[in-house]
Amino acid sequence: MLRFFIVLSIFVFLTLTAFSASAQEKIQVKDIRFYELSERLRVVIETTGISEFVKGELKNPERLFFDIKNASLSKELKKEYSVNSPVVSKIRTGQFDANTVRVVFDLKRADYEFKIIQLEDPFRMVIDIYPKGSNKSSIKSDDREAKTTLKRKIVIDPGHGGKDPGAIGPSGLKEKDVTLDIALKVKELLKSDPSFEVILTRDRDIFIPLNERTEIANRLQADLFISIHANASPNSYARGIETYILNWTDDEEAIRVAARENAISIKKMKQLKGELGFMLASLEREAKRDSSVRLAGYVHNSLTESLKSAFLRHDNGVKGALFYVLVGAQMPSCLLEVSYISNPEEEKLLSSDSYRMQIAQSIVEGIKNYFMHKEQIKKVKYTKHNSSKTKLNGQKRKKAI
């Protein structure tokens, strides 16, 4: 009997574990956008993770559909979209079953073709549908229309502002002025690139609470969030560049920096470990941490390599700390401490327009490197659904939305 209960307990544990893992891996279809591009229709299906799908076709009337597996449909999405395209008249979405989201294209014609790719950060399926034989329809990594319609939203956050000057250097240089100027330069540098859209949390000298900064990025469904700061220390000899991601640390210097940027005491900073621990352990935070580490790495390396040769800056590395401004970010994020404004030599550099421009160019290069390595076009293997060759019975026809 004891052996029976032991076996039963193990079975229940393994079943619950498998169920829990399966539930955690379920993705959400969070957004659907479409673009009517001359002879083709481009549809972007944004999800919270890598999506597995099968493709199928239905006749009488003509329909093309994609079943996204292990997925749920966001309640905020519309169920139907009218389209003005040579091939597609309507896009419809629905929860086909408990684990499948179906996206259906109502077609105007049977002679059509389509191409599909998957992109990451955020995860997206990009589908082009066009008349058969059209040579103009393809999705390429260097496709200008693709870059335009799939713009990356980059939110740059100039630290401090308004009534909050941030750190002030020995000669009176204010952190809020330095960070704003660098952010404006980053925006201007990326302005000519059609693959990026840059939004600043502030574009003038105003005060914005820390929590509202990531709310701006979340509301815009940004792809990246980068907060720019200038470091300070009681030790006037402290110098160099360091980059932070949101994480707990026992490193005293990192705690001190976070406490200063959070405008609280070091004692209070240490108390936050328990209060914010649940956030750091959340699945959403875990899902973004690896991407944040990569983002921080590319931007930090770009900064240190560029500034090292011209200005001999010291590399303090990539670190983790609990920064209020990063808490709640729903996208890869990092915080940059571009130099020590409390160091007389570095304050002088930070007051230089050429140095600020060098920093801005390095940030831009880091962002581009991140996407160049992270977002590689993937060849998607899909399984052809045989529904077009099989007569659906009455029950299946009711289910096929």
Q: Supply the CATH number for residue 219's domain.
A: 3.40.630.40
Q: Look at residue 262 and tell me whether its pLDDT is greater than 70.
A: no
User: Can you spell out the DSSP letters for 308-330?
Assistant: HHHH---EEEEEEE--GGGTT-S
Any residues with CB less than 8 A from the CB of 195 and at least 6 apart, and which? 147, 148, 150, 151, 152
Element (H, E) at 56: strand 53-58
What is the mean predicted confidence (pLDDT) over 259-286? Answer: 52
Assess whether pLDDT exceeds 70 at residue 160.
yes
Q: Residue 99 pLDDT > 60, yes or no?
A: yes
* Mean pLDDT estimate for the chain: 78
Residue in 234, 239, 221, 320 with CA at minimum distance from that of residue 280: 320
> Total structural domains in the chain?
2
Distance (Å, whole) CA 125 – CA 69: 13
- Whether residue 80 is found in the same domain as residue 202: no
Residue 326 maps to a domain = yes
Same domain as 365, residue 349: yes
pLDDT bracket for residue 259 (50, 70, 90): low
Question: Is the domain of 308 the same as that of 346?
Answer: yes
Least confident range from 148-157, 179-188, 201-210: namely 148-157
On whether residue 14 sits in a domain, the answer given is no
- Res. 71: pLDDT tops 70: yes
Is residue 77 domain-shared with residue 111, that is, in the same domain?
Answer: yes
Count of alpha carbons within 13 Å of 398, Cβ hemisphere only?
2
pLDDT tens-digit series, residues 232-255 = 999 999 999 999 988 755 566 665
Q: Is residue 9 part of a domain?
A: no
90 lies in the same domain as 230: no
Range of the domain at 236: 152-374
